[in-house]
Structure formats: structure tokens, C-alpha cells
Structure 1
Amino acid sequence: MLDRWGSFLARRARAVLVLGLLLVIGAAVYGVGVFDSLSRGGFDDPDAEGRIEMAQEREIFGNRAADVVAIYSSDDLVADDPEFQAAVEDVVAGLPDDAVARVTPYFEAPPEAGLVSEDGHHAQVVISLQGETQDDFLDSYDEIHPLLEASADSGVEADVAGSYAVYNDVNEITSEDLERAELISLPLVVLLALLIFGSLVAASMPALVGVVAMVGALAVVRLLTTFTDVSVFAVNVISLLGIGLAIDYALFVISRFREELAALPDDDPDAARTAIRNTMNTAGRTVLFSGLTVAAALASLLIFPQMFLRSMGYGGMAAVVIAMLASLTVLPAALVLLGRRIDAGRLPWRRHRAVSVSDDHGRWARLAHAVMRRPIAVLAVTVVVLLAVASPFLGVKWGSVDHRVLPEDAPAHVAADQLREFGEETSTANVLLQGVDAAAADDYIARAEGLRDGTTAQVVAQEDDATLVHVTWPGNSQTEESQDLVRDLRDIDPEGGSALVGGLTADTVDLLDSVGAHLPWMGLIVVAVMLVLLFVAFGSVVLPIKAVAMNAFSITASFGVITWIFSDGNLTDFLGFESQGYLDATNPILMLAILFGLSMDYEVFLLSRVREQWDKTGDNDLAVATGVQKTGRIITSAALLLAVVIGAFATSGIVFMKMLGVGMLVALLVDATIVRALMVPATMKLLGGLNWWAPGPLRRWWERYGFREEPAAAVPAGDDDKIPVGA
């Protein structure tokens, strides 16, 4: 298939390139409007108990949640001073009814509500927003946020806390961080590509493919928004994978093209066409299967009910598929037209260096042979080291987003710190009792207060047979103790009726339960698809299993590192963040999907060269050493370039974005070095001929239908053959 496509490219390179560029221009025009179509919410499971409680509570009582907490402060005035109260009254009077469902200012609340600080210089206004969805609430927040500032001459300052203030800051800072990451990574990528390729023209190709991937993926995501909701965070993964995989795929294709070109006579007028056909049949095959495996891994995110996670899958799949298509169309077409001019603009110290076409005599081959002389020792040491690195993950604690994901100077973080002026931190659950009488409600309250010292419960609203109870306890809403308390509340069965428990902690419990329920299915989907695709690519049932096991080591090692850093609180000063004492439950899910795909990227590239040599010689040691030699420098270079892109995300001020960047960076470097250079040669040596084993029926099926490399066919004569290479 790819041999025929390579022949078509050789004949119609100019037409393919022109058509591709026209499609890119059209995608850019269409995709630029995607940002107005993206959702900013989607962090919850619509079918979770907490969401059901919230919906029913609002239907019966209206919205009574503390969505926004405006904190008013003055160094000179206290809350009882007329000037202070007048300034706050002016703010409350100016809040629009279409954005605000309920307002509880400190001067209308009873003293026991605790809306005035002990020193009197700080006071709260609690606001419930209008809306049905998280997007609606964020829109309402956007409308009232500018109105919460007190007049400049009042001497009263305002800070805004609450979950929607946090979400708003997360969205704004993430957008700024994304722009900064691109500004940091793109120039570094071009510079490193120049050092790797040694020529200006070759170094510009990965950037070209990266731009095509990002532009095309944004257009695809905008198209998806006409059918389903897509989170704004999809843009982050598009930037990450669009640039990252475009670099990988361009590096694979260009390196193989230069290698094939170097093996042909300089005076061969058809050298570029022959080289591109061979490149498509080898590196093109690798890119195709790599793209399919990465996309399949990301598709596993679609099984989660949280729109935020599904959107990461949509964005990632779009970026991967477009990067793959660009590397198989626009890039090879450009290479045919450039021909040997792909090396134009060589750096001075690279002008006389030939492209390496060595097999098993270089430094990477020597490393592979050294590993294969002591495979058991190498494997034992690397396994022990990686398991030790992964060990902190055994004690991981889970939570969700709160103000500590933000930088310390972020407005919502500053406001949350201001809440300490009102006493110790407390958490609240909303309990909706239905079908219970007064005695049963009192019994529920008594049992709730007996769950833990310091827990209080009180009725805040009643309507017919519905009773709304607020349960309050000391401590942060995301701790394991708070999560356990919510679970205990849900275990209380009110006599004669039902109880639904909601609130921030309940949302976290629901998230963890949802992730735990869907994670095994995600893993099953990823592993099953990988096993099938790798069998189709290599005709072995052993290598796919080995590949999954190898990838598990690099991924669990990265999980251990992020647990040690972000949950246990190490390196906080160096990385510039405040530890929450737990990991956000969604981050490892994203890392698992992305990293499993990226790990397979390098696995497919390495095994393709090993299989190529095995088919030629049938010598396992020679095949492994040759494969490592031919891919070692390229995989290391690709990992270095991708590390720059991923590492830029580690500079984010948002903790979960920083965690994603650090975790992926660790996994990438472990995978490209320890796994590919040490563990893979060691295991392939121990397995020997079993590497390529498959049961008889499967082997016969693969020999007949498998995606095997075939000798390149001659290019039929045609008008395009008269076009000089490089024209």
C-alpha cells in the first residue's frame, strides 16, 4: 500500500504539495474560530450522585451554593463602619439578576454565620450564580467579576474566592502558559533540529509539519464542536502532541530519506523518487503504525463520562492523525521536489560529513552487543532501579482541583488565603433528604454529627417533603479524611426516605469512583488495540506483549516521580509550586493515555528496523544490534526535541499542567534511554527466535495479509518523470 503511495508521490509530488497547502490554508481559516466554540467546564460526571443532588436541590430550593465568596477588607475600617458597609451595599445593589441567583451579604447574615473576621477588618458576601451547567456558571461569573470591586475611594479592597474563581484563573493562566510554552519550545526545537540535521532546509521541515498538525487539528476540533461539547483544554494537548509528534515523524521520514538518498549515485536523476518510495515503504510504514497506536491510546479517553477527559482524547487524536497525514503527504512531496537540496544550508562543520548508513558497527550497536552479552544482569538492574523509582506511587493519595493548583499570587489563591482570617478551614456537604419526616431528619442530623469530632449539621431549607441539610467539619475538602466522611454520610440510610450527598468533597469522591470504574476498561482497550496493531505490523504475538510490559516500566517510573514531587511535596521551591498533598485524579489518566502512545512510537520505530534486518539475515543478535544502531541516534534526537516541547509545559504556573509536563518528561527520557537502549536489547536477546513467534494460523494469516514491507516497484514513466529533481 505505502509502496504504491510512494510511487504516486514520486510522480505527483507537486500536485500533492499544492493540494496539501491549500487544505492547510482552508483549515487555518476555519480553525481560527474554534476558541469561541470551546467549553470551559466539563469536569464532572453528569450521572454522579453529587451532580444529581445539585440538580434536584436547585430544582426544589434554587441555587443556594456558595459559588463565589467576595471578601472585602480594609486596614482602617471595620465591617460595622458606615463607610465600609456602604461600599459593600453599592456592590451588592449593582449585581445583575440574570447572573446572580442569591446573595448573602455579611450585614444581613446572623453572627453565627461567621461572615465577619475576628478583627472586624474583613467581611464576606456569599453569592450563588445563575445557570444550569458549569459553562453557564462561568459565564455568570465573568459577568459579575468586574462588578465585585468596591469603589476606589472607599478604602475597601475586594478579593474573590470560590470554585468558579479558581476555574476562571485556571483557564486564564493555562492560556497564558500555553502561549509561553510555544514561544519557548518552537525556537529551541528549530535550533536543536538544526544541530541534529546539520542543514537549514532539513531543520525547517519538522516545524512545517508541526504547523500543519496544529492548524489541521484545530479545524477538526472546531468541526467536532458542532456535534458535541469540547473543552478548551483540548487545545493544550493539540499543542503538546501536534508539535511533539510532528517532530518525531518528520525526523523519522527525513532521516530515512537522507539515508536512502546517500545510498544512490549522485548523478541518478531519479534518486529522489527512488528514495521517497523506499522511505514510504519503511519509515512511512513506521509513521502510519505509530500514528494509529498513539491515536488508539488516546481514543481510550472517550469512555470517560467527564467531558474534560473526552476532550483531551478528541484533541489528541486530531493532532496525532493530522501529524501522521502531514508526514505521509506534504512532507514527502516536499522531499521529492527538494531532492538532495534537503541538505542545503549545511552548517560549516557538517559540510563534509556523509549521512551514516552503517549497520552494526557504531557506538549504539556496540552498546547493544554489550547488553546482549549480559542480558540477565542488565535486565535485573534496570528493573530494580525502575521499580525503586516507581515505589512512591504505592502510597499515592488522590484528590481534585482546589486553589492550591494556582500560583501563590493568583487572585483566587490570594483570596483563599484571606479566608484564614475567618477561622480554621472547614468543608461542607449538602445533603438533600426526601420523603422523610421531622423525626427522621433529626435522626439523620444526629448520626451525621456523630461521625467525627467537630462535625455539625443543620437544616437550611425545607419544602414539602424535601429537607436540605448542610454538614460542616474542620479540614480541607480534598483530604482523605474528608472523602471518608462523605462516604460515611452516604452510608446513612434515613428512615422512610432517601438522601443525596453533594458538595466539593462529594464531587471528588464521585470523580475517584468514576475513574476507578472506567480505568480497567481503558486499560483493556489500550492493551488490546496495541497487541492487535503490533501483531499486524510485525507478525509476532511475543513482541507486542513485551512492548506493553516495557512501556509499563517507564510509565510507572514517571508516576513514582510525580508522586514523590507533587504529592509528597519534594522540590517545591525548585519547581515553584505549593504541594496539595495528593495527585489530581485526572492527571495520571491523561499521562497513561498519552505516554502509552508515545512509548509505542519509539517501540514501533525500533522494531521496524529490527524486523527489516531479521527478514534479511535471520540473525537475532545482528538484527537487534542493527536496529539499535540505525535508530539510536534518531530516537535520542526525537526524544530530546520532544522533551523540549513537553518540558516547556513544566514551566506552567498551574500545578496539574506542571505535573503533566514533569511526568511526561521523565517517562519520555526513561523510555528513550533505559528502556530502548538497555531493556529491549536484553529481553530480545533472552527471547531469541521466540521474538518472532506466532501460532501457525496467525503466522499464515500475517504472511498473507500482514502489513509487510515489499521491494519498491519501478516508477512508471510519465510526464512528471521529466521534471528535474529539486525543480
Structure 2
Amino acid sequence: MAVNGNGQRSAFYRLGVLAHRRRWIIIGIWIAALLAAGPLLGKLSTRLSQGGFAVPGSQSDAVQKAIEKDFPQQSTFSDTLVLHSTKLKASDPVFKATVARAVATLAKQPGVGSVLNPYISPERFVSRDGHTAIAIAGLTDTQSQALQHAPALDKAVKAAVGKVPINVYLAGSAPFYKQFQETTTSDLSRAERIAFPITLVILIVAFGSIVAAGVPLILALLGLAISLGIVSIIAATTTVSIFTENIMSMIGIGVGIDYSLFVLTRFRTELKKSGDVPDALGNAMATSGKAVLVSALTVFVALSGTLLVNIAAFRSMGLGAMVTVLLAGVGALTLLPAVLGALGPSIDKWSVHRRTTDASSGLWHRWATTVMRRPWIALIASVAVLLVLALPARGLRLGSSGPSILPAKSEVRVATELVGHAFGRGQTAPVRIIIDDPRGVLGTGFADVFKISQQIARDKEVTRVDSIATLDLRARTLKQAGAIKSLQQVKPFVAQITSADGRRTLISINTKHEAQSDQVGDFVKRLRASIPALLPRGVTANIGGDPGLNVDLNHELGSKMPLIVGLVMLLSYIVLLLFFRSILLPLKAILMNTASVLATYGVITWIFQEGHGQGLLSFVAPGHIESFLPLFLFCILFGLSMDYEVFLLARVREEYLRTGDNTEAVGWGLEHTAGIITSAAAIMVTVFGAFAFASLVPIKTMGLGLAVAVFLDATIVRVVLVPAAMRLMGHWNWWLPKWLDDILPNVSLEGGAEEVEREQVAAAV
């Protein structure tokens, strides 16, 4: 019985009884919340953003803001019309006529401001072999409008080309975002189709009852739906990344089922003992319910580290995951006991096989005893396995992929690769520089723009420089520079890359390599180090564009990682210290979780960076890991790894307080939890692993990474490393200095029961 030192029921016991007494009210509240979330779910996909990766205060952010303000025609939100033929050349009359029709058709479409005909500047927009031409279409649409219009634009230009042997594609921001959105939705649907049937089978095998199996799955989906509704409200007022929906689905289903699984298992055990539903609920909540709270709190704390990163998309993914975990935890502590109270003994209806919950078979106890008989061998062997798996992580490289994350046959990706092959990989995402000169860039400041343009052009990475100084290379003097503005053939271009007040000008640089490459990243760093020295006092230069953004993104994530890792570890330690009242157990948990995370990093590096298993998982290795993934994975994995640690330690502590024997407590603690942890882990691996079959490489990486981490945690860590370490630590597992015991707040939520526990632990130690 969960009672305190005065014979009173614990707070969690009373919560279980209250949930039974008010079960229909609680169920009604959750149903009302679900109905309220319904309309919001339909709006979520249109509110999610493909952007949000800007780093406020960075040079790339300053460049983008300047472009939006002073150079609207240069906005990165544009379409690129790509025409390619293996039979015809751009000089052929048929090719020219087709280009003219496609350009004219595109210019008439809603949301299109202007289209630059490639024949106006063929040296820039027609490939050297003559088989590819591109036309840049500036959009007047907002992002949501452009996504809505994208299919119509694509259909219109294809109709304009007709049956001529010319392939036509639309690339650029809007088509990419549209394809990204569609692929994300498709990936989510595919993952759900894979995960749900397998999860249901695992639950039926675990519980032996269709009703018992259905409860965790239904409640997890209900909690996820409400979570998505809440995030839809948030997305209406701030940037929420399109990745957030997939991440919430992964975590919401996995964690939601996990929490229900542990409480439901304990409820069935207690119900068979007493036959009294309120008492069974009370005891289940006083044990597994408390563990759910600690677990959810630990995951929530770990995910809170994502809020420290100054990147809107990253924070939104973390916030979405936090909302999901919060709803899963609250649901397991309120809705689940209410539903169990309503079902009562009917929870075992529609049994498919008889299953005993008696732990006397002792399989896991014997396993734990075997491990603890030679703890050093088990410890060294398990750590060695994790270290070997972690080795590839030494070469982990961060980067961003752009359209290359789309499926290989995606038209946007095909078009982008065509442009890269025909014009150079730096054509689609140039480095951009904003020069701000109070003297005027077409006045005294022109000489500095010319000097910078010439120096940039000499860099080995540069293929082309477009600036006011390269419109007419003879214009080296102030007098000649002033004449540029009046030359009819270049006047429109000057207006496009010079601000209305004449202070700012835009320089665009095409590079040999793609924006995400190390070579271009190093080039951006060289520019940022050298250009300021070429400018007089009062003149500033910001270097950005997609290449600059990648550099700033990697710097922001890399610089914040030590802080976030340290803070997450510290907060997790404090939570476990308060609830388990032990100095060493939280430290052990943190070290083991770190080992699991490093091993997971090694596996995803080996697969997704080095390319092992490309055929099996149907992807092309980009040669790097997406910038945001390692830090985000750390926050998720560190929290999720605590899940099984908390449930195992809670039961071990329960046995230790009962017997005072550390070895027996570990053995029987594992015996009582290993089976259900195995089922829970199998479900998590199924849910996360289903996302490994996604088309988008970042989602694929996230899914497989989480699946690997849970598998390692539930096998090597939980059933080998933990028993071995706890056997070696002995009674020191439960050591807490008296002075610290006296000042720590009582957060057990069990009233005087904590005093009894303190005395029992102190006596045992």
C-alpha cells in the first residue's frame, strides 16, 4: 500500500482514486479538448514554415534583411525556369521560340512579378554547351501564396512548351518548399502505415488482450492530436518549422504509448491482487504514475535545452516536442486512470492468449545475477561495444543540403542538379555581400567596390562576380563610375543592385562548389576576414546568402552545444537527485546516457555521412549530417534514455527499501521491469524506425538515430551495463550525505513516506 509515515495514502494514490471517482468528467474534458483541436489540425500544414533557420544578429541575417528592404527584385524567394534539351541548342529557332512562350506564360501567372529572359544576358543564363537555359522569375507572393500557386505555375509552363523535345522544370524557393511540404506529408503517412499495425501487434502480445492493447495506442494518438492543435495555434503567430510535425509524431506516439504501458501494466497487476479498481488505480499511480512524472519531467527538461539556440526553426522543433511530452505525461496521469477506472476488469476483454504476470519464473533475475557475478567483465564488454559504435563520430561533419535532401527523382532536385552541372554548383545559391557606404557606392565609394570585386574575382573558388563594378570593367575612376548610371544598357541592372539612396550595393558571387560544401564555407570565412581590412572607416560589409547562412548556422549550433549539453546534464542530475535521493545514481545515469548518445552519433555518421546502407535505405549520402540534428538528437535522446532508467530505478529502489539487499534489489527490479521495458522499447524502435523509410534524409536520419538509441538503451545499457555498474557500486548507489539529505526539498509527493524511506536507506547504507 502506498501510505506515508502517518498511515495516510500518498498523493499519487489519492490522484488515482480521484481519477476513478471523476472519470467521466476527466474523459469529457479530454474529448472536448480533442474536438477543439480538430479544426486547428487542418490549418497546421499551411502554417508550418520551411524557413526559420536564420540566425538573428548574424551577417547572413543582415544581408537578407537588406535585400528584402533595398533590393526586392533580388529576393531569394523566386522561381527559376529551367529549359534543357539533349537534341536542341539555345541558338536553335525552335528553342528560342519555346523559351519565349514559356517566359511569356510564366509572366502572366498569379504571383509572378517579372521574368528575366535568358537571351537578354546569354553569357549568364545560357550554358556553354547551349543545351540549358534559365529564366529568373521574381515572385510578389507571400510564402503561403507561392506554395498555393506553385502547381499551377508548373502546369502552365509545361503546357507552353508542349511536345517540343525540351524538358522544362521550375526550381527555386517556392517549388522546393512545395515539394518539401508534399514529401514531408507523404513521409509521415508512410511511417504511420508502417508503425501502427506493428505497434498494435506488439501491444497485443504484451498484454494478451485487444482492449488493453488498444488503450495505449488510442490515448497516444489523442494526446498527439491535441498537441498538434496547440502547435497550430503557436504557428499562427510565430515561425514553426515544417520538421516539427514529424518530430512530434515520432515522440508523441512513442512516449505516449510508453507512459501508458507502464501505468497500465502495474494497474493490471494490482487489480489481480486486490480485485478493487480504485485501490488498484491508486497503487498503480503511486508507483508507475510517480515514475511517469519523473520521466516526463526529465524528458521535458532535456528538450528545454533547444530553447537556448537562437534559431527559430530549431526552437520550434524543441517546443513542439516539449508540448507533446507534456500532453503525454498529463494524459498518463489523468486520462489513462480515468479510462482504466471506466473499463475496470473489462480491460482484459477479448483476450487472445493467457499470459501470467507472475515474476516467479525469474528469467531476468537469473540474467541480472549472472551479469552481477562478473560485473567487471560485463561493464568493460558493454562499454567497449558502445565505444566501437561511437568511433565513426570522430569524423562527423555538419552541413545543409538544400534540394539534395529531396527524393532523387524529384523535379526540383533534377532541375537544381541540371543548373549546377550547366552553370556551376554555385549558380543556384551565390554568396552575397552588402556594402554600406555613407559616401555613396556610385560616388566616392565606387573605387572600394571595384577593388573588392577585383580581389574576390582572383579567389580560386570564384567563377563569377556580379556588381556595379563589373557591369563595365573600364569604369575604374569616379568620373567613369558616375557615367555608368546613365548608360541605357546597364541602367536597369544598376537599379537592381543599388539602393534608392545610393548608400548600399549588392555583390553576388558564383562559386565552383555548392553552397553547402566545405570549400564555399572556407571561402565565406576568408571574405569575412579580409574584406573589412579593404574598407575605410565607416564603411561596412556583410557577407551572407545561403553559403553565409550555413556558416552562421553551424557557428550558432556549435557555440551553443557545450552550454546546452552542460545545462541538460545538470538539470537532469538535479531532477534525479531530488526524486531518488542519491548522489551517484544520477551521475551513473548521465554517463551511460552520454555513452548511448555517442554510439548513436557514430551509427548515423557511418550510415548517412559515409553512405553505408544507401541501397537498403534508398538514399544518397550527402557527405555530412544536417547541422541541427546532432544537438537536437542529444536533447531528445538524453531525455528518452532517462525513461527506462527511471522506471528501472524506481522498481529497484522499491525492492531495496523492502529488502535492504542491493544485489537482490537490482535482480528483482530488473525482473519486474525488463519484460515491459522490452515491449516498450520494441514499440519505440518500431515507431522511430518507420521514419527511417522516409524520403527526406534529415527525417530518415532522425528516425533511425532514435531507433538505434532506444535499442542500445534497452539492451546493452539497461540489461548489462546498469546491473554491472550497480553491483560494483553496492550500497553506494543509495548514498546521500546527511547534510544534503536535510536541505533537499521533499519532492516525493508522498508526505511522510519520504521520512520512512530516508530511515530505511540510511539504515541499509
Whole-Å Cα distance in 1 between the matches of residues 97 and 456 of structure 2?
A: 40
* 2:478 matches 1:470: no
Which secondary structure state, in structure 1, belongs to the residue aligned with residue 408 of structure 2?
coil
Whole-Å Cα distance in 2 between the matches of residues 400 and 106 of structure 1?
A: 29
- Sort the Cα spacing of 1:64 and 1:15 in 2 relative to 1 into closer, same or farther, 3 A: closer
Whole-Å Cα distance in 2 between the matches of residues 340 and 612 of structure 1?
A: 26
Whole-Å Cα distance in 1 between the matches of residues 709 and 351 of structure 2?
A: 33
- Sort the Cα spacing of 1:20 and 1:470 in 2 relative to 1 into closer, same or farther, 3 A: closer
1:149 is aligned to 158
> How many Å apart are 1:658 and its aligned residue?
0.7
Asked whether the equivalents of residues 46 and 144 of structure 2 are also in contact (C-alpha less than 8 Å), the reply is no
- Sort the Cα spacing of 1:37 and 1:407 in 2 relative to 1 into closer, same or farther, 3 A: closer
1:674 is aligned to 716
* 2:202 matches 1:160: no
Asked whether the equivalents of residues 118 and 421 of structure 1 are also in contact (C-alpha less than 8 Å), the reply is no
Whole-Å Cα distance in 2 between the matches of residues 32 and 422 of structure 1?
A: 41
2:586 is aligned to 544
> How many Å apart are 1:118 and its aligned residue?
4.0
Please, what is the CA RMSD of the aligned residues?
2.5
Asked whether the equivalents of residues 372 and 681 of structure 1 are also in contact (C-alpha less than 8 Å), the reply is yes
2:473 is aligned to none
> How many Å apart are 1:479 and its aligned residue?
1.4
Identity %: 34
Asked whether the equivalents of residues 298 and 572 of structure 2 are also in contact (C-alpha less than 8 Å), the reply is yes
* 2:222 matches 1:200: no
2:535 is aligned to 495
* 2:194 matches 1:184: yes
1:107 is aligned to 119
Which secondary structure state, in structure 2, belongs to the residue aligned with residue 124 of structure 1?
strand
Which secondary structure state, in structure 1, belongs to the residue aligned with residue 162 of structure 2?
helix
- Sort the Cα spacing of 1:697 and 1:96 in 2 relative to 1 into closer, same or farther, 3 A: farther
1:371 is aligned to 371
Whole-Å Cα distance in 2 between the matches of residues 487 and 244 of structure 1?
A: 42
Asked whether the equivalents of residues 389 and 599 of structure 2 are also in contact (C-alpha less than 8 Å), the reply is yes
1:390 is aligned to 390
- Sort the Cα spacing of 1:37 and 1:402 in 2 relative to 1 into closer, same or farther, 3 A: closer
* 2:435 matches 1:433: yes
> How many Å apart are 1:53 and its aligned residue?
0.9
Asked whether the equivalents of residues 211 and 243 of structure 1 are also in contact (C-alpha less than 8 Å), the reply is yes
Whole-Å Cα distance in 2 between the matches of residues 442 and 307 of structure 1?
A: 37
TM-score by length of 1: 0.91
Equivalent position amino acid for 1:697 in 2: W
1:30-179 equivalences under 5 Å are: 30-64=40-74, 67-94=78-105, 95=107, 99-109=111-121, 111-113=122-124, 115-130=125-140, 144-151=153-160, 153=162, 155=164, 156-179=166-189
* 2:29 matches 1:24: no
Asked whether the equivalents of residues 87 and 154 of structure 1 are also in contact (C-alpha less than 8 Å), the reply is no
Which secondary structure state, in structure 2, belongs to the residue aligned with residue 161 of structure 1?
strand
Whole-Å Cα distance in 2 between the matches of residues 468 and 21 of structure 1?
A: 55
- Sort the Cα spacing of 1:23 and 1:710 in 2 relative to 1 into closer, same or farther, 3 A: farther
> How many Å apart are 1:453 and its aligned residue?
5.6
1:293-692 equivalences under 5 Å are: 293-347=298-352, 350-351=353-354, 353-358=355-360, 362-420=362-420, 422-426=422-426, 428-435=430-437, 437-452=445-460, 455-460=463-468, 461-463=497-499, 464-492=502-530, 493=532, 494-496=534-536, 497-692=539-734
Whole-Å Cα distance in 2 between the matches of residues 374 and 12 of structure 1?
A: 51
Q: For 1:583-630, what per-residue CA distance to the aligned partner results, in whole angstroms no more than 9, with x for missing partners?
A: 111112221121111111111111110111111122111111111111
- Sort the Cα spacing of 1:557 and 1:346 in 2 relative to 1 into closer, same or farther, 3 A: same
- Sort the Cα spacing of 1:453 and 1:19 in 2 relative to 1 into closer, same or farther, 3 A: closer
Whole-Å Cα distance in 2 between the matches of residues 711 and 454 of structure 1?
A: 71
Asked whether the equivalents of residues 149 and 158 of structure 1 are also in contact (C-alpha less than 8 Å), the reply is yes
1:704-723 equivalences under 5 Å are: 704-708=746-750
- Equivalences, count: 699
> How many Å apart are 1:278 and its aligned residue?
0.3
- Sort the Cα spacing of 1:101 and 1:518 in 2 relative to 1 into closer, same or farther, 3 A: farther
Asked whether the equivalents of residues 20 and 329 of structure 1 are also in contact (C-alpha less than 8 Å), the reply is no
Q: For 1:142-171, what per-residue CA distance to the aligned partner results, in whole angstroms no more than 9, with x for missing partners?
A: 774444435253514311233543333222
Which secondary structure state, in structure 2, belongs to the residue aligned with residue 218 of structure 1?
helix
Whole-Å Cα distance in 2 between the matches of residues 163 and 246 of structure 1?
A: 36
Asked whether the equivalents of residues 212 and 323 of structure 1 are also in contact (C-alpha less than 8 Å), the reply is no
Equivalent position amino acid for 2:451 in 1: D
Asked whether the equivalents of residues 261 and 272 of structure 1 are also in contact (C-alpha less than 8 Å), the reply is yes
Asked whether the equivalents of residues 567 and 582 of structure 1 are also in contact (C-alpha less than 8 Å), the reply is yes
1:722 is aligned to none
Asked whether the equivalents of residues 434 and 543 of structure 2 are also in contact (C-alpha less than 8 Å), the reply is yes
Whole-Å Cα distance in 2 between the matches of residues 474 and 421 of structure 1?
A: 11
Asked whether the equivalents of residues 637 and 706 of structure 2 are also in contact (C-alpha less than 8 Å), the reply is yes
Structure 1 residue corresponding to 2:233, chosen from 223, 230, 253: 223
Whole-Å Cα distance in 2 between the matches of residues 161 and 704 of structure 1?
A: 60
Structure 1 unaligned blocks of 5 or more? 713-727
> How many Å apart are 1:103 and its aligned residue?
2.9
Equivalent position amino acid for 2:210 in 1: L
Which secondary structure state, in structure 2, belongs to the residue aligned with residue 63 of structure 1?
helix
Whole-Å Cα distance in 1 between the matches of residues 297 and 15 of structure 2?
A: 18
Whole-Å Cα distance in 2 between the matches of residues 255 and 162 of structure 1?
A: 52
Structure 2 unaligned blocks of 5 or more? 1-10, 469-496, 755-765
Whole-Å Cα distance in 1 between the matches of residues 351 and 33 of structure 2?
A: 31
1:4-19 equivalences under 5 Å are: 4-19=14-29
Deviates more, 1:229-238 or 1:546-555: 229-238
Asked whether the equivalents of residues 41 and 135 of structure 1 are also in contact (C-alpha less than 8 Å), the reply is no
Whole-Å Cα distance in 1 between the matches of residues 221 and 740 of structure 2?
A: 41
> How many Å apart are 1:174 and its aligned residue?
0.8
Asked whether the equivalents of residues 169 and 412 of structure 2 are also in contact (C-alpha less than 8 Å), the reply is yes
